[in-house]
Amino acid sequence: MVLLGRSCIARVIHTVYRYQKKISAVSAYCKIRFAVLAIAGCYFVFRTGEEGGEEVYKTELIKKLNDYDKAVKDSVAEKSALIQRQSLGSQ
């Protein structure tokens, strides 16, 4: 994920240099402001992707644990019912 953030920042810097002739009329304050906002935007996109990935992982993990818990409970219920039937049948 760090690579994604770095490439995003590099792309912003490259874009600024590429269109420098068109932007040259804009004041230095606006250029700096644009660069800071662009870098901040890249950071927020990076963090959103990271947090979203963690959330999906946690959600899937919880789903799998719930499915496993349900399967174990069903298995135990079936075995206890089988034992009860066998004990009733032997009497």
Map out the domains of the chain as residue ranges: 2-89
Tokens for 34, please give them.
């644009």
Least confident of 5-9, 25-29, 66-70: 5-9
Contact partners, residue 7, CB within 8 Å, separation at least 6: none
In angstroms, rounded to a whole number, what is the distance separating the alpha carbons of residues 80 and 31? Answer: 73
pLDDT, position 56: 65
Render pLDDT for 15-62 as a digit per residue (tens, 0 to 9): 777 777 666 666 777 778 888 998 988 888 888 877 776 776 677 777
Question: What pLDDT shows up at residue 26?
Answer: 63
User: How far apart are the C-alpha atoms of 85 and 22, rounded to whole Å?
Assistant: 85
Distance CA 72, CA 69 (A): 5
pTM reported for the whole predicted model: 0.36
Contact between residue 38 and residue 12 where contact means Cβ atoms under 8 Å apart = yes
For residue 91, pLDDT over 80 is answered with no
